Amino acid sequence: KQEVTQIPAALSVPEGENLVLNCSFTDSAIYNLQWFRQDPGKGLTSLLLIQSSQREQTSGRLNASLDKSSGRSTLYIAASQPGDSATYLCAVDYNQGGKLIFGQGTELSVKP
């Protein structure tokens, strides 16, 4: 079964710290991987999309990497801020027509 796992489920860091969120997937034959942010009770905001032929994508303080051979992606957040507090979701398109399989998310809390 194709699955996506995110560890840890929750993470608390002090403001200013650099941090890494992890995402693993069971099947390396992916089309793309997308990172989302979700604020409590709100919708999903797309952060970064990495296509299967790419190794990383960057947007501002965010950098996402993809290693298909090991079935892993990481989201690096530099110089974290309290406004980064949210749940971060990883989703994989497993060559199934754009249908996404989601991890359960990592709830990030950045303390002032």
8 Å CB contact between 52 and 94:
no
Q: Which is nearer to another protein, 34 or 80 (CB)?
A: 34
Q: Does 57 bind another protein (CB under 8 A)?
A: no
Annotate each residue in 14-53 with x if it binds another protein (CB under 8 A) or - if it does not, as one string.
-----------------xx-x-x----xxxxxx--x-x--
Among 105, 106, 108, 110, binds another protein (CB under 8 A): 105
Q: Closer to another protein at the Cβ: 43 or 112?
A: 43
- Cβ-based nearer residue to another protein, 51 or 58: 51
Which of 29, 25, 45 lies closest to 37, judged by CA?
45
3-state secondary structure of 96: coil
**How far are the Cα atoms of 15, 17, 36, 85, 108 from residue 81, in angstroms, in the given order?**
5, 8, 17, 8, 11
Torsion of CA 77, 78, 83, 87, to 10 degrees: 10
Residues interacting with another protein, by CB under 8 A? 31-32, 34, 36, 41-46, 49, 51, 89, 91, 93, 97-100, 102-105
